[in-house]
Structure 1
Amino acid sequence: MGVDLLNIEGLKALEHQGPVVMVNLMRFRDRSLDGDGSGWDAYLRYSALTVPMIKARGGTLLWTGDAKTVALGAQDGQQWDYLALVYYPSVAAFIDMMTSADYENLSDPHRRNGCAEHVIIATAEAYSKFKIG
């Protein structure tokens, strides 16, 4: 999956809805495609480069955790290794990061080397116990 899979049209429809939380679902490769450790190792390199880019755009990492099992629903195709919830003050901030030269040239290769699959779901808050942003 590359940045070419970015759903710009779908994201633009959310542009004026304020802050968003991106739900990241990741499945790691056993070995990084560049041969430098595991898929997890490559993801850690990706994260170290990407978190400062998120913060520079007013975003923040809210929560990360290991995916353990599907609790309800079909099992097939739903085996994820890791989840991350990332806050952005706007969809525009997310698009700006994902289409930046730094992301494409520095971060994205590590993500592709480490992740066999990476799905990002854009969410708009309906209810939260927590004040975000």
Structure 2
Amino acid sequence: MPLAVNMLNIQGLEGLDQHAPVVMLNLMRFHAHSRDGDGSGWDAYLRYSAITVPMIKARGGTLLWTGETRAIALGPHAGNQWDFVALVSYPSVAAFLDMMTSQAYERDADPHRVNGCAEHVIIATSEAYSKFRAS
């Protein structure tokens, strides 16, 4: 079974409302050098992104925000040395699961993620407040 599917908390995700929108908080730490020898970990992540962004859009999702981390402002420093953060909106949990378990993701995208990321954590969130929502 491919790495992403092995790491997915499918049971936890299936316990969520499958039709509810979800924003995925992605925390990434990159390898200095891509594990396949093709550039840096960041380079491998860019290859991953070039493949996954169209997959996200095809499922009605959108990349909301990305950015480089600068410093831990509050909380423990140990274990929180992230390089990059992304917020990705999906119309449903089912759409996220569909992408992550697709053969195209496993075959074409995940190898670049594995080659680039020393660690990649994705946290499913539900909206409590958004300045982007009409009141």
TM-score scaled by length of structure 1: 0.96
Which consecutive residues of structure 1, in runs of 5 or more, have no partner in the other structure? Answer: none
Distance 2:17 2:10 in 1: 10
2:26 is the alignment partner of 1:24: yes
Percent identity over the alignment? 70
Runs of 4+ that moved beyond 2 A: none
Alignment RMSD, CA only? 1.3
2:63 corresponds to which of 53, 57, 61: 61
- Give the partner amino acid of 1:80: W
Distance 2:105 2:65 in 1: 21
The residue that corresponds to 2:8 in the other structure is 6
Question: What is the CA-CA distance between 1:15 and the residue it aligns to?
Answer: 2.5
CA offsets, 1:67-98, max 9 Å, x none? Answer: 11110000000000000000000000000000
Distance 1:54 1:131 in 2: 21
TM-score scaled by length of structure 2: 0.94
Question: What is the CA-CA distance between 1:131 and the residue it aligns to?
Answer: 2.7
The residue that corresponds to 2:81 in the other structure is 79
Q: Does the CA contact (< 8 Å) of 1:31 and 1:114 recur in 2?
A: yes
Residue-pair matches, total: 132
Summarize the alignment of residues 28-67 of structure 1 with structure 2, pairs less than 5 Å apart. Answer: 28-67=30-69
Question: What is the CA-CA distance between 1:2 and the residue it aligns to?
Answer: 3.0
Distance 1:85 1:129 in 2: 15
